[in-house]
Structure 1
Amino acid sequence: MRTAAVVGAGLIGTSVALALSRRGVLVHLIDTDADAVRTAVALGGGVDCAPEQPVDIAVLAVPPSSIGRVLAEHQRRGLAHTYTDVASVKHEPELAVLDAAPDPTSFVGGHPMAGGERSGPLAACANLFEGRTWVLTTCSHTSRETLNRALAVVAMCGAVPVVMEATAHDRAVALVSHAPHVVAALMAARLEHAPEEASRLAGQGVRDMTRIAGGDPGLWGDILEANATAVADVLAEFADDLATTVTALRSLAEVDAAKRAEEMTRVIDLLGRGNAGRARLPGKPGAAGGALVPVVIGDRPGELARLFAAVHETGINVEDVSIDHSTGRPSGLVELVVSTDTAGLLADRLLAANWTVQRIRPVYPTATARPYGGPERETPARLSVPG
């Protein structure tokens, strides 16, 4: 692949452009927002001019409701030989493509499972898709050449391709992406008028839960509209569980000990189901559990870099890292996840370098975590590209 066009210079579109440009592809950036294009070009995402002849592939980074119209416009102008998109909803755009596009055979739906709470080209990065799943939704009209070119884009972006049917994709993302965003927004909305003392007590847990609620409301409104039924189905089940839990919690304040014990069983069961559900999420490829090494760092410039340099000197691989720092406190906590057999060595080396290390704790791998009171779960088989 030598040439490409990216229509839409936002977070995802610019990240695609940066990744392809890094691999030597000449990328033409197109957007009605001239400032966004100029920013993407300045970042190294490509050039701000129309191609003189059809490019190999055009990536449509526009809202789901615009896919059919934008594809039809650019196909009539002969922008590219092949087209794909990056919208997070696939069924309705596919119907719009089949209805409006002059040549549906040259289009395949796409959805990279990556993003961020910030939007716009300044939030983009070339490695945004590294190791992430990138769904391609073929239909009966999709040509093999179209699929192959889309697979080339996925490979150049460092992502892992997965081929799915559009409606199956939409049901899946309703559960693992769209409904969680609504739940995060609902929880974050509780904080809008929170007392100042409550805000001061906020720790990493509430930040983690509400992080995705910082997304663009307009874009998310478009996404939810395009996948409304599937998201509503998930939230209806959530609402049933929530209503049961509210009733159980209110009953825990009753005098009747037998009633309290009965309702506590319901609460514990829900928490256990939460453990079991989280255990089904795939962890980092190749990770096999490990231990968490908490390290206290001062709230001073360069402290985090100094810690990472100290860890680098040990030669120990860090599987994951999280940072917990409450506003106004003179220190924070960096939690390093490493393999179990190296945790003690890492702690000893850091202690010797005068770092404050708290108690090491075991971490179960996400895919095989032990649910509350239940057996270990196996990781579900990953979808793969057929044939």
Structure 2
Amino acid sequence: MSELVGPVEIVGTGLLGTSIGLACRRAGLEVLLSDSSPEHVRTASGLGAGRPRTDDDRPQLVVVAVPPDHLGTVIATALRETDAVVTDVGSVKSGPLSAVAGEPRAHRYVGSHPMAGSERSGPLAGSGSLFDGRPWAITPHTGSDPDAVELVEELVRLCGAVPVWLTPAEHDRAVARTSHVPHLLASLVAARLADGPENHLALSGQGVRDVTRVAAGDPRLYGQIVSANAEAVLALLGEVRTELDRVIDAVGSGDRTALQGMLEQGVAGTQAIPGKHGGPVRPMRSVWVSVPDHPGELARLLADAVASEVNIEDIRIDHDPGRPVGLVELVVEERRAEHLLTSLESRDWVTHR
């Protein structure tokens, strides 16, 4: 069995590349950094993600973390210029594989894709804990060397992620469904806000923020990602267009039965998303608490929630535009919600039932 001992070379020191470098350094591995931007290499090195690569370095594993348009070229170059196993962390897997399919060294290539990220970009957004507990797809092709596959799996586990095994084509269909099409739809919804009248936007609440959050991502990067996965994305967009026509017909004709059926399909979709730690979905309930917008108040609320011995599964904050108060949503297991409400009210918190 292959053992990951390093050095690990990271090509591309943005969010993902820097985060992988930090995770590898945390594990004690030597990390070599390269990027078309010397400033990014300096920044990532300063953060402790590794050191600049030199011509004399001989990496054991190369991780390509460049934008989608350049993946195939950089992977092929790494295969030709090193004896290392090569993986990449791009959002689309079929394209890079096609680009290196004719390479005699392609047996050393194993695609991968961590399902972790942020609306922020660049090395300063990097974190060694970015992948902890997150799924990380490993997508070997039919010619991948078993030792190369094992080395990539070791990298995934070293970074704290959970390996998920898919073929390149199946991966691309999966991310179209769970990431690329949702991003496009979020952008379409957000675009309706851009020229909205001020008195309309004053009614914005947490719901519209939740729906549009990912639309804040880098348009150039996501344009490359979606274009690289065009076949899978188009198939799903065709389904969405059909469903949208049905919604328009139902709303226009006042067919509440049809409309309710579509809304119920949406509820079923939210329940299909795996629960905590990949387990079954558990019934959850939101507990709403008014929190003064003063230093230390949120910390006090969380301390009181801990004292109630109720585990907080998620937390969101919606600021009141008319008052110096925030409305904090604490998501807990449904069976524990009433206990949390009673406990917080006994500590003089204003809750909303």
Which category of TM-score, normalised to the shorter sequence, fits these structures?
over 0.9
Whole-angstrom distance in 2 between the partners of 1:56 and 1:329: 57
**Does the 8 A contact of 1:296 with 1:332 survive in 2?**
yes
Partner of 2:295: 301
Partner of 1:288: 282
Partner of 2:115: 113
Whole-angstrom distance in 2 between the partners of 1:192 and 1:226: 27
Partner of 2:179: 177
Shift in Å, 1:63:
2.2
Partner of 1:237: 239
Partner of 2:129: 127
Shift in Å, 1:321:
1.7
Whole-angstrom distance in 1 between the partners of 2:192 and 2:311: 39
Partner of 2:12: 8
Task: Please show how residues 1-387 of structure 1 align to structure 2 within 5 Å.
Answer: 1-2=4-5, 3-50=7-54, 52-78=56-82, 81-99=84-102, 101-252=103-254, 263-285=255-277, 286=279, 288-359=282-353
Shift in Å, 1:176:
1.1
**Does the 8 A contact of 1:28 with 1:51 survive in 2?**
no
Whole-angstrom distance in 1 between the partners of 2:71 and 2:123: 20
Q: Which runs of 5+ in 1 are unaligned?
A: 253-262, 360-387
Counterparts in 2 of 1:328 and 1:97: CA distance versus 1, 3 Å = farther
Shift in Å, 1:51:
6.6
Partner of 1:256: none
Shift in Å, 1:73:
1.7
TM-score w.r.t. length of structure 1: 0.85
Shift in Å, 1:206:
0.7
Whole-angstrom distance in 2 between the partners of 1:165 and 1:240: 28
**Does the 8 A contact of 2:62 with 2:78 survive in 1?**
no
Which string of whole-angstrom CA distances, capped at 9 and with x for unpartnered residues, describes residues 224-249 of structure 1? 11111211111111111112211222
Whole-angstrom distance in 2 between the partners of 1:222 and 1:49: 27
TM-score w.r.t. length of structure 2: 0.93
Shift in Å, 1:102:
4.5
**Does the 8 A contact of 1:65 with 1:93 survive in 2?**
no
| Higher mean displacement: 212-221 or 281-290 | 281-290
Amino acid of the residue matched to residue 264 of structure 1? Answer: R
Whole-angstrom distance in 2 between the partners of 1:307 and 1:314: 11
Which string of whole-angstrom CA distances, capped at 9 and with x for unpartnered residues, describes residues 345-380 of structure 1? 333332232222222xxxxxxxxxxxxxxxxxxxxx
Question: Secondary structure of 2:194's partner?
Answer: coil
Amino acid of the residue matched to residue 173 of structure 1? Answer: V
Whole-angstrom distance in 2 between the partners of 1:247 and 1:190: 21
Whole-angstrom distance in 2 between the partners of 1:116 and 1:326: 25
**Does the 8 A contact of 1:85 with 1:108 survive in 2?**
yes
Following TM superposition, where does structure 1 have runs of at least 4 consecutive aligned residues deviating by more than 4 angstroms? none
Question: Secondary structure of 2:307's partner?
Answer: helix
Whole-angstrom distance in 1 between the partners of 2:236 and 2:157: 32
| Higher mean displacement: 209-218 or 325-334 | 325-334
State the identity %. Answer: 44
Whole-angstrom distance in 2 between the partners of 1:26 and 1:328: 53
**Does the 8 A contact of 1:67 with 1:97 survive in 2?**
no
Whole-angstrom distance in 2 between the partners of 1:128 and 1:170: 22
Which string of whole-angstrom CA distances, capped at 9 and with x for unpartnered residues, describes residues 49-104 of structure 1? 337332221110012332221122223322x52111000101111111213x4511
Counterparts in 2 of 1:19 and 1:272: CA distance versus 1, 3 Å = same
